[in-house]
């Protein structure tokens, strides 16, 4: 999820646990490859087989972006970014 050219979030699937781990997109000052863990997000997807996110305003429902993930049975699950972010993460 891109906030600026150098900031945002990396979402990593914890496939068997039906959740995603969220990390800062930017590394630490001492190590640009060390991405800080921020939160865990439970999802309805089972055995997630793919995901994508955008921070673009797509329409009135997805004003701050969209996160979509697919279950192993090819069911797609759509989330508004503000539902993923809650009060913990920034929105574009």
In a domain, 91, yes or no: no
Domain range enclosing 56: 9-85
Render the chain in DSSP notation, one character per residue.
-BSSSS-BEEEEEEGGGTEEEEEEEEE-SS-TT-EEEEEEEE-S-SS--EEEEE-S--SSTTTT-EEEEE-TTS-EEEEEHHHHHTTTS---
pLDDT at site 65? 97
- pTM value is 0.90
In a domain, 4, yes or no: no
Q: How many structural domains compose the chain?
A: 1
pLDDT in tens, the chain (92 residues): 999 999 999 999 998 899 999 999 999 889 999 999 999 999 999 988 889 999 999 999 999 999 999 999 999 999 999 999 999 999 98
């Amino acid at each position: 999820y891109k906030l600026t050219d150098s900031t945002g979030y990396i979402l990593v699937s914890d496939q068997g646990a039906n959740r995603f781990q969220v990390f800062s997109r930017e590394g630490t000052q001492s190590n640009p490859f060390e991405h800080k863990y921020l939160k865990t997000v439970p999802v309805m997807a089972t055995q997630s087989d793919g995901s994508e996110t955008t921070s673009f305003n797509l329409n009135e429902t997805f004003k701050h972006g969209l996160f979509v993930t697919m279950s192993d049975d090819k069911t797609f699950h759509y989330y508004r970014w503000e539902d993923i972010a809650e009060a913990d993460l920034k929105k574009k």
